[in-house]
Copies of this chain bind each other. A is one copy, B any other.
Amino acid sequence: MVSIKEVAQKAGVSVSTVSRVINGKQNVSPEKRAKIMQMVKATGYVPNRAARDMVMKRSFTVGIIIPMTFNMFQRQLFSDIEHHLEDFGYHSSFYFVAMSQESEEACLRRLKGEKTDGVILLHEIELPEFREYLEKNDIPSVIATFEKERWKSTSIHISENEAASAAVNHLIKLGHREIALLSGKRYSFGRQRLQGYVNALESAGIPYNESKVVFVDSYSISDGMSGMKELLDRKISFSALFAITDELAIGAMRYLKDRGYQVPGDISVVGCDDIEISSYTIPRLTTIRQPVSEMGKMSVAMLHSLITSESKMNVNIALPFTLIERESVTEYTKNI
């Protein structure tokens, strides 16, 4: 591969000068600049990234922390983030982490060797050393799509609590009072959306009833099916369901169909997130939309500004969510 030295020789200048022009610095005579550009083109020279990274002591890469198995919402988010990262000229390095301490430690170890310019978390890491390492080394981080308390970093999210309330209020406004909840314990948003459900019920003067809520392990479609099964097996009476993620809702609708129930005829279902597939399900899912692309875009933009600016001020950004009314919800008529 051709090196900067070779280009310098062919152009009859020093490497310093070549370095200047390829990095767009001023103070180079037009003639030399032209000559150098010409040689760069002729030789097909491209700077060696490793060498540059080493001397500049930064890698121009940002680390992306992702859960080992990431769901559809995160896949969309991830893809948006990648695009923007590329636009800003960053590389990205992945860190898949599972729900275990060893996995988090392994992630931290790798992180130390790579000197990423910053980190975007699509997954909540518990390990205290992790946070400490970032803070001690001034590595900016942004949390994408979580509203995490006491973690000193910028975070982009919707108000989880209010989003859940909005979903439930929509149901209440339509006359539903026996509203089941399909939730999970994993991640902070599980707790927050549960809280939103509780709040909405309370405001409407509807008593909270434990037997109407089920917690599943994760947030996949199949968890939605098993959660719905559990709910049905309890033989309680209800007319609507709020599933805290769209995938859960889709699984619930699937299972309801298997058991012969109509959505929304027998049960109204509302989800949360608005993943792509939700506009195509049968019936189309009524849900709360998180502005994914904006969130992805902002995550990168915020991280970039944290990396480049002097004042490292961490902000907590709550983006607006929207209720998207589709076909899975209807007015209250009866309980099952």
Contacts and interface: CB of A to CB of B under 8 A. Distances in A.
Q: Is the interface of A mostly helix, strand, loop or mixed?
A: helix
A48 B280 CA distance: 48
Contact of A115 (B1, B221, B225): B1
Contact of A281 (B54, B83, B109, B282): B282
Contact of A49 (B47, B79, B113): B113
Nearest to A255: B280
Contacts of A253: 282
A1 to B, nearest CB: 7
Oligomer: number of copies: 2
A109 B75 contact: no
A50 B53 contact: yes
A96 B75 contact: no
A48 B113 contact: yes
A114 B49 contact: yes
A83 B82 CA distance: 17
Contact of A257 (B225, B276, B282): B282
A46 B94 CA distance: 18
A280 to B, nearest CB: 5
Nearest to A221: B280
A54 to B, nearest CB: 4
Interface stretch (A85-93, A152-160, A164-172, A295-303): A85-93
B112 A44 contact: yes
Interface of A: 1, 44, 46-51, 53-54, 59, 68, 70, 75, 79, 82-83, 86, 91-94, 96, 109, 112-115, 221, 225, 250-251, 253-254, 257, 276-277, 280-282
5 contacts: A48-B113, A50-B54, A82-B96, A86-B94, A250-B277
Give 7 nearest A-B pairs by CB, closest first.
A46-B113, A50-B53, A50-B54, A46-B112, A282-B282, A254-B280, A50-B50
